[in-house]
Structure 1
Amino acid sequence: MTLHGLDPAAEATRDRIDDAALSQRREAQEQFLQIAAPKLDQLFALVGQSGCAVLLCDPEGVVLDRRCSEADREVFRRWGLFEGMDWSESAEGTNGIGTCLAESRSLIIHRDDHFLARNIGMSCIDAPIYGPDARIVGALDVSSARADQTEAFNRLIAAMVGQTARQIETDSFCAAYPGMRIVHADADDTDAATLLAVDHDDIVVGATRGARKAFGMAATGPIAPVPASDIFGREDGLRGFEKAERAAVICALTRAGGNVSQAARNLGVGRATLYRRMKRLGIGESGANLSRG
């Protein structure tokens, strides 16, 4: 009431952007929408028969995409749950989509938790979706206008919404780093996608929001490149060029199936030279020794 000047009893017309503005927003998020579409279909297949709609919104709370059954389509349209509608807190007060985005967290807004009286018939379950740069790119929403929807059922849906949001986040991150090695890192936060993008030089060049929190990286935006070995704490007693040389020799031997002569040719050195380097670096010939190295 103070911040946005909203009246909880207001019956004013709901805010919807025009079709041209909606098209522009969808074009700006085209890749995100393409990645999310199959996940929305999967989520709707799970909750749609229960009278729920699935919505994907942009960071400003505008609905970009929706899934609902034909039988429920007109009901959700009357509730304002369709493409182009503005569900930001400034437009609708406390609600699933707007409050999820305002507070950057998953939540359930059940019936009279809503600020506006016209929305208290709904239950809304939401989770934020973070982009590859760890900034929020949207919100995933499941809404129901069923009077018999219980809070226990909402919690079951919330688990599916959170999982789907993380799947979209994971797929978006992988698409942002094509050709990179994507590493799933261990972290305490099991609700977050904890992924690192590692380039061909074994340098970490990208990280999801969960990985940034786990490894003390920049909260948003580009990260400072860091060797993957520094993050994972792998130590073999070598330093600097010796460590890089050992890695190169092991890679060459692995590609050659342990054949030292072939590995030497691939490295452009003589067989005897490679043997001397292997001895100096503590690399054995056998597959067992190589795997331990």
Structure 2
Amino acid sequence: MGTLENGVHAEQIQSALTGDAAAQSALVASWGRSMRLYGLDPEEGTKPDVLTEQELKEARERLGSLIHTAQASLDRLYSAVGGAGCCVLLADKDGVPVDRRGYEGDDATFYKIGLWTGAVWSEQREGTNGIGTALAEQRALTIHRDQHFRSKNTALSCTVAPIFDHRGRLMAAIDVSSARRDLTEDFVRLISFAVVDAARRVEAEHFRLAFPKARIVLANGAGEPMGEKAMSALIAVDDDDLVVGASRSARQLLGLTDELLSRPLPATDLLGQHSNAELDYANAERGAIQRALARTGGNVSAAAEHLRISRATLHRKLKRFGLS
């Protein structure tokens, strides 16, 4: 399927923006931003803007270690979809691809379209498109063919998932794009699962590297099903069993903010369960009481004196530990 004729596609967009769908559809809302907020023309046929080599170098440097962290996930994703004529892109938060995987035989097609490192695919510059709109709305999505704003992009199907850093802030996005005419919607759905999985893997690895000395805990909220959000809800806990970091999903799931995380926050209070430190302390206390009783031949008063606590306190502890 080639690109739609400019006039036809522009008319479809204009009709959607003036119809009932405008108040209901996220896609039409993006078309509206493209036309009214950014002042773009769906019939504009020029290629995306491209950064200079120095600007692209600086964009890569701003992402820091994420490009290296993402390599294995990008390779795995490309091995799954590359044979179907898809390319894989890692874009920064400004919509600029900084890394790419693609079959050499398809490179000329994607280069002509502009799906290449250094091209600017923000929604503000290209209108509704996979990379730009996923970043603008901060959610995984697919922009399939004539859902694109610009007529020149309607041969593309682009599936994208955003990547958030260890503080829950938008950092990058992974995109799988295809210009194949025979790409079915069922296959697009399979691609969507793979793209989201790759993005979550990169996020999780980046989170672990951000807290190298912490214990990483999977935190699902009370009563929450273990869906995508719960499975990527990560908490970083230090040696004192205090929370020192939380992923975006964990922040959403547990109502965490930067302000809450700036103060000491016991993991047990957050997760609603006994932490390892508390269990270790309880076991140590139980052992100390048992040793005191053994040394005093089971005499509670003598054991309490040995432990330097009152007899009443020792009785309460004996009851709590099931030793009375």
TM-score grouping bracket, smaller chain normalisation: 0.7 to 0.9
Give yes or no for the alignment of 1:195 onto 2:234. yes
**1:227 aligned to 2:266?**
yes
The 3 A distance-change label for structure 1 pair 103 and 246 is closer
Does the 8 Å contact 1:209/1:219 carry over to 2?
A: no
Q: Determine the C-alpha separation between the residues in 2 that align with 1:163 and 1:246.
A: 34
Q: Report the secondary structure of 1:33's partner residue.
A: helix
CA distance in 2: counterparts of 1:77 and 1:123, whole angstroms: 15
Is residue 190 of structure 2 the alignment partner of residue 156 of structure 1?
A: yes
Structure-2 change in CA distance of 1:99 and 1:245 (3 Å): closer
Mark the runs of 5 or more structure 2 residues left unpaired by the alignment.
1-34, 293-302
CA distance in 1: counterparts of 2:307 and 2:243, whole angstroms:
32
CA distance in 1, matches of 2:174, 2:261: 25
Q: CA deviation at 1:222?
A: 5.4
Q: Residues 219 and 165 of structure 1: is their aligned pair in 2 closer, same or farther, counting only changes over 3 Å?
A: farther
Residue 112 (str. 1) matches residue 146 (str. 2): yes
Shift of 1:234: 3.1
- The code of the aligned residue for 1:198 comes to V
**Does the alignment pair 1:45 with 2:95?**
no
Give the Cα–Cα distance (whole angstroms) in 1 for the partners of residues 279 and 258 of structure 2.
Answer: 34
What secondary structure, in the 3-state scheme, does the structure 1 residue paired with 2:217 have?
A: strand
* Compared CA separation, residues 176 and 89, structure 1 to 2 (3 A): same
% of aligned pairs identical?
42
Contact 2:47/2:114, CA 8 A, preserved across alignment = no
| Equivalence map 1:148-187=2 (5 Å) | 148-187=182-221
Q: 1:12 to 1:149 in 2, by over 3 A?
A: same
Instruction: Please say if 1:216 is aligned against 2:255.
Output: yes
Structure 1: stretches of 5+ with no match in the other structure: 237-243, 255-259, 262-271
Post-superposition shift, 1:137? 0.4
Q: Secondary structure at the match of 1:226?
A: coil
Mapping of 1:234-253 within 5 angstroms?
A: 234=273, 247-248=280-281, 250=283
How many residues are aligned here? 265
- 1:12 match: secondary structure: coil
Residue 16 of structure 1 aligns to a residue whose secondary structure is coil
C-alpha change, 1:17 and 1:110, in structure 2 (3 Å) is same
Q: Tell me, in whole angstroms, the C-alpha distance in 2 between the residues paired with 1:181 and 1:115.
A: 45
Partner deviation per Cα, 1:188-231 (whole Å, 9 max, x = no partner): 36223101000010001100111111111117995543101101
More helix by share: 2
Residue in 1 aligned with 2:44?
10
8 Å CA contact 1:105–1:127 kept in 2: the answer is: yes
- Find the aligned partners of 1:167 and 1:246 in 2 and give their Cα distance: 31
State the shift of 1:250 in Å: 3.3
Aligned CA distance change for structure 1 residues 223 and 153 (closer, same or farther; 3 Å) = farther
How far did residue 4 of structure 1 move?
A: 1.4
Query: For residues 66 and 168 of structure 1, what CA distance do their matches in structure 2 show?
Result: 15
Aligned-partner residue type, residue 120 of structure 1: T
Corresponding residue number in structure 2 for 1:64:
98
The DSSP-based 3-state class of the residue aligned with 2:182 is coil
Partner of 2:156: 122
- Aligned mates of 2:278, 2:155 — CA distance in 1: 66
CA distance in 1, matches of 2:125, 2:51: 12
- Partner AA of 2:264 in structure 1: P
Q: Which residue of 1 aligns with 2:109?
A: 75
1:20 to 54, 65, 70: 54
CA contact (8 A) 1:134 1:221 kept: no
**TM, length-normalised to structure 1:** 0.81
Distance 2:109 2:46 in 1: 18
RMSD: 3.1
